[in-house]
Amino acid sequence: MNAQKAKIKPMGLGRSVIFFGIPGLILYSFIYYGVPYMNSINVPLIVSFPLALYGFLGMLFFASLIGYKLEGNPNTLEGLKKRFRLQRMNWKMWLMALGTFILISLLEGLLSFTSIILASISIFSPPSILPTFIDPFIELTFPFKEFMGTPLFGNWWIICLWFICLLCNILGEEFWWRGYILPRQELVFGDKAWIVNGFLWLFLFHAFLKWNYIVLMPTCFIIPYLAQKKKSTWLAVVIHGIGNAMFFIFIIPGVFSV
């Protein structure tokens, strides 16, 4: 085992449940209780929801850097790139990322009918206050005319807001789940680590989207699988990021046109 690997502590099932479960519980509490409370004191949804969800995801990014430091890794960009598997992607990996995004989109589209079925069951029902773009009971029309309760037309700052949300989401999740945690899980579970990573990412962390448990299966297993197989966190970042970035297609027309 090389020196870099020797600094990484193995993460078994018990610790994995803690590292996925605690963030999942916190986020669940923020979405199901924090957002409704902020609504009760007249905090607009476009403030409360990004703060509860994307603000917390941004914290995961910093948590991954703290974890990196606590392992005793060098304070260098090269050390960070090595530990978090941030090697440059070649053109084949970029094509793989695009192809994987298309595959995931198709699979999730085929499974989308399950969301409303699960949401109709009380244990899987959504919170009382939810943005329309993730509400399973609302049929969306494109382009959006409003975003989290705020009219889009003329509000160009919403594009900037979504860009910040995108960065917090992708960097927070992928640096924490795939960059920091997955290599530790590999020391215990070997080539099956992606299964543990994906299972806990789906059922513990995404409990706040529990009506989407079935829909999210392709994302939550394919991304960890490729991240482990290719030893690349950037690959996971790109696949995850393309889907979120596509959301700009739905809000930009609403900002610049009536």
211: pLDDT strictly greater than 80: yes
pLDDT mean across residues, the chain? 93
Side-chain-side CA neighbours of 110 within 13 Å: the count stands at: 7
CA geometry: angle 164, 170, 173, nearest 5 deg: 125
5: pLDDT strictly greater than 50: no
Taking residues 37-61, report their average pLDDT: 96
In the chain, the percentage of residues whose pLDDT exceeds 70 is 97
pLDDT at 257: 78
Distance (Å, rounded) from C-alpha 52 to C-alpha 29? 9
Confidence at 3, pLDDT banded by 50, 70, 90: very low
Taking residues 91-109, report their average pLDDT: 96
pLDDT at 144: 86
Taking residues 173-182, report their average pLDDT: 98
Taking residues 88-96, report their average pLDDT: 95
> Which candidate, 213, 230, 214, 217, places its Cα nearest to that of 178?
230
2: pLDDT strictly greater than 80: no
Distance (Å, rounded) from C-alpha 231 to C-alpha 218? 19
Asked if residue 214 lies in contact with residue 118, where contact means CB atoms within 8 angstroms, the answer is yes
Q: Which backbone phi and psi does 140 adopt, to 5 degrees? A: -85, 145
Q: What is the pTM of this model?
A: 0.93
Taking residues 99-118, report their average pLDDT: 96
Taking residues 205-225, report their average pLDDT: 98
Distance (Å, rounded) from C-alpha 109 to C-alpha 233? 25
pLDDT at 4: 43
Give pLDDT tens digits for 133-177. 899 998 888 778 889 989 999 999 999 999 999 999 999 999 999
Confidence at 247, pLDDT banded by 50, 70, 90: confident
